[in-house]
Structure 1
């Protein structure tokens, strides 16, 4: 198989990298929830972690990659990019994930949420110039709402979270959210099956995946470091914090 065919198949490696900094997939740190990820968070939470030994090794490997590969990229991007441009890039990729949020709402029967997400997408895509700006934030009835995904829908249906997992590069998850991640990719226009179209050559796929990583990396690395700096046991804090966050998101 030629290099072109390998890159043009699914770009699994670059898709994984993009997933690290993609909140709609398996979030490393929730938007403004990093302060919740302390050692004493959710003292009463019980997390099924039969693979802890393997998970801890994966966590350490991820930590090395985050701080030695992604942090320099994030720092360089933040240093040379004006704040408005940085915000616009993040808005652009967030806008493209509208189908994921729409599916999450519809699968839970949250039709009001689906309507708001659709309205926001329409306004931000047109008036906001393909989502670079977010004028919908100021439109009554279309203010930002909590993000939904397929994993949350599975939880709302009563599907057990299953064992806790730490995925290579992607970070914290569980069996239910891993299945949800597959569902999210199925409706994400940046992922399969849309990106499998032959008209999307490997250069475009690589450019989009790389741009998404870079656009989201500064905020995600900052939150990740905040967690590590405040915790005696970062692995335990991440596990408990992730589980608590997902439980809260499903219950909303």
Structure 2
């Protein structure tokens, strides 16, 4: 039986939608920007109360269970098999390459947030890593020139301009967020598309690239989500608290004097 290219393309798109879950649980646990959510130091002197309302908890728990099973039964085995094929050094180079492609989006967000010193750092990193770092496969800017990575999202931009969080939300096939932050994720996604896929309009090809990117990233954080679940009485609450702690750490950084309208 001959499988049409249209059917194959739609199948790949469906698969990549499932893989979006790779972008939810592990990064929160692993710590974006070098934060370790499994360390005792991360929770030192941090308030334990939830900072954003969770009026949809019953629904959120259902979605959390769905995401958890998708991760455990499908995505983690795929990433683990991938990790056995490629050495960690090569996978780290791929991760650095994809991160470099997002620097233009971070540059725009730092400008909109008034973080002009960070804007300069992001621009310098992009130029150095795209040239000396061989298209971004090596983070030469951090290693040789002491320009560390900078995080900046549209969600943070909306917060800087006065938009409230909205309620806590667990998004199917994505993970923990808030209404505002998820709107930022969608906006950043549209913004990064031209930098990821300037050479094709084929949805199947784009989905395949994204599938590879997210599988590669999860392969670098295997076991961390499982560790959080093992250490917690209620994984839903543990992940929600880790998400809020991560946001609190970022907010403290963004509101420090050196990051306010340089």
Provide TM-score, normalisation by structure 2. 0.81
Unpaired segments of 5 or more residues in structure 2?
254-262
Cα distance in 2 for partners of 1:211, 1:114 equals 29
Cα distance in 1 for partners of 2:24, 2:137 equals 17
1:106·1:114 contact (CA, 8 Å) conserved in 2? yes
Q: Quick one: structure 1 residues 154 and 12, their matched pair in 2 at CA, closer, same or farther if it must change by over 3 Å? A: farther
Residue in structure 1 matched with residue 188 of structure 2 by the alignment = 184
Residue in structure 2 matched with residue 153 of structure 1 by the alignment = 157
Residue in structure 1 matched with residue 38 of structure 2 by the alignment = 35
Q: State the 1:64 CA deviation.
A: 0.4
1:4 to 2:3 alignment? no
1:232 to 2:233 alignment? yes
SS of aligned partner of 2:177: strand
Q: State the 1:7 CA deviation.
A: 4.1
Provide Cα deviations, 1:91-139, integer angstroms capped at 9, x if missing partner.
1111111122112211111111111111111111111111111111134
Q: Quick one: structure 1 residues 116 and 151, their matched pair in 2 at CA, closer, same or farther if it must change by over 3 Å? A: same
Cα distance in 2 for partners of 1:162, 1:12 equals 29
Map 1:199-214 onto structure 2 (within 5 A). 199-214=200-215
Q: Quick one: structure 1 residues 75 and 5, their matched pair in 2 at CA, closer, same or farther if it must change by over 3 Å? A: closer
Provide Cα deviations, 1:176-220, integer angstroms capped at 9, x if missing partner.
1011112211211368xx75x794223421321121121101234
1:61 to 2:91 alignment? no
Moved over 6 A (4+): none
Cα distance in 2 for partners of 1:218, 1:209 equals 14
2:24·2:175 contact (CA, 8 Å) conserved in 1? no
2:28·2:246 contact (CA, 8 Å) conserved in 1? no
Unpaired segments of 5 or more residues in structure 1?
none
SS of aligned partner of 1:14: helix
The count of aligned residue pairs is: 243
Q: Quick one: structure 1 residues 42 and 35, their matched pair in 2 at CA, closer, same or farther if it must change by over 3 Å? A: farther
Q: Quick one: structure 1 residues 13 and 182, their matched pair in 2 at CA, closer, same or farther if it must change by over 3 Å? A: farther
SS of aligned partner of 2:164: coil
1:74·1:217 contact (CA, 8 Å) conserved in 2? yes
Q: Let me know the Cα RMSD of the aligned residues.
A: 3.0
Q: Quick one: structure 1 residues 187 and 202, their matched pair in 2 at CA, closer, same or farther if it must change by over 3 Å? A: closer
Given candidates 118, 124, 143, the residue that maps to 2:123 is 118
Given candidates 123, 133, 138, the residue that maps to 2:138 is 133
Q: Quick one: structure 1 residues 165 and 180, their matched pair in 2 at CA, closer, same or farther if it must change by over 3 Å? A: same
